[in-house]
Amino acid sequence: MSGEEEENAAELKIGDEFLKAKCLMNCEVALILEHKYEQLQQMSEDPMNQVSQVFEKSLQYVKRFSRYKNPDAVRQVREILSRYQLAEFELCVLGNLCPETVEEAIAMVPSIKTKGRAHDDEAIEKMLNDLSLIKKFE
């Protein structure tokens, strides 16, 4: 962290290096780690022995906390959220938590309602509707 301002993701203060970094949603990480794990399976009989604890715990976690499983749905979620001028960080929080109401979305990602940003309640509502449609047709 540079500067005196304290880190706070709720206000999107997370340090420039991370604002530019690409964030990944749980469902995207699940696809990548599962693919890695399959590769290992082909090379060895006991793949769980080949991976680090960090890998193993993370794989378990993203399997449980992915809202979308189908690779096409995962791609669509990112595509739809990308239309709403969100920061990478905000996009992933919304994709991970899938809020159902506008109020809930703002509680989870307060920065989408801060001054100077074009998100009125109507735009947020539409975004949440689009997201729930993907879930329905997955």
Partner 1 sequence: MFLKVQLPWNVIIPAENLDAKGLMLQRAITVRLMENFATRKATKDLGYFLAVTTLESIGEGRVRQHTGDVLFPVVFSCITFKLFRGDVLEGVVHKVLKHGVFLRCGPVENIYLSCLKMPDYKYVTGENPVFLNDKLSKIEKDVAIRFMVIGTKWLEVEREFQALVSLEGDYLGPIS
Residues that bind partner 1 (CB under 8 A): 6-11, 13-14, 17-18, 21-26, 28-29, 32-33, 36, 51-55, 57-58, 61-62, 64-65, 89, 92-93, 96-97, 99, 103-104, 107-109
**To the nearest whole angstrom, how small is the minimum distance from the Cβ of residue 97 to partner 1?**
6
Nearer to partner 1, 60 or 85 (CB): 60
**To the nearest whole angstrom, how small is the minimum distance from the Cβ of residue 110 to partner 1?**
9
Give which of 6, 66, 5, 82 is closest to 34, Cα–Cα: 66
Nearer to partner 1, 76 or 96 (CB): 96
**To the nearest whole angstrom, how small is the minimum distance from the Cβ of residue 16 to partner 1?**
12
50: number of Cβ within 10 Å: 13
30, 63 in Cβ contact below 8 A?
yes
Cα-based torsion angle of the residue sequence 92, 97, 99, 102 in order, rounded to the nearest 10 degrees: -40
Nearer to partner 1, 93 or 134 (CB): 93
88, 138 in Cβ contact below 8 A?
no
